[in-house]
Amino acid sequence: MASQRAVCCVILLDRTLASNRTFSIKGQDFLVIGRSNRPVVPDTLSTAEAAVFELLASGLTTADIAKRRKTSSGTVSNQLRRIYQKTSVSGRTELLSQVAWHED
């Protein structure tokens, strides 16, 4: 009897791998089923909070978000605090672990 390995399906943010290809990490096989670079923004966020949310989801630091938004780090920190409250998370790591991505 041939051995079988479980394959996990993932949606990647990295555009270097094509859909329907597999790759392995530490012996675990993954199947690329789609890719996206646009987060799903919760509809409870204000326009400014949504912009900060998207930049945060793209991996930027608070300081980098402030530079992009042409505002202070304090303002971004306040917006992040409101985002955490509205999404019922304790901070950046928890928020990023729960971000859903659009399927492009």
Sorted by where each begins, the domain ranges of the chain are 1-35, 47-97
- pLDDT tens, position by position, 52-93: 998 888 888 999 999 999 999 999 999 999 999 998 889 888
The predicted pLDDT at position 37 comes to: 60
Chain-centroid distance of CA 87 in Å reads: 14
Say which residue, 12 or 95, is predicted with more confidence.
95
Angle at 24 between CA 18 and CA 29, to 5 degrees: 90
Say which residue, 9 or 25, is predicted with more confidence.
25
Say which residue, 69 or 102, is predicted with more confidence.
69
- pLDDT tens, position by position, 34-56: 555 667 788 889 999 999 998 88
With tokens 């996990």, the residue in question is 8
**Distant-in-sequence contacts of 87-92, Cβ < 8 A, 24+ apart:** 87/42, 87/44, 92/56
Q: Which CATH architecture has domain 47-97?
A: Orthogonal Bundle (1.10)
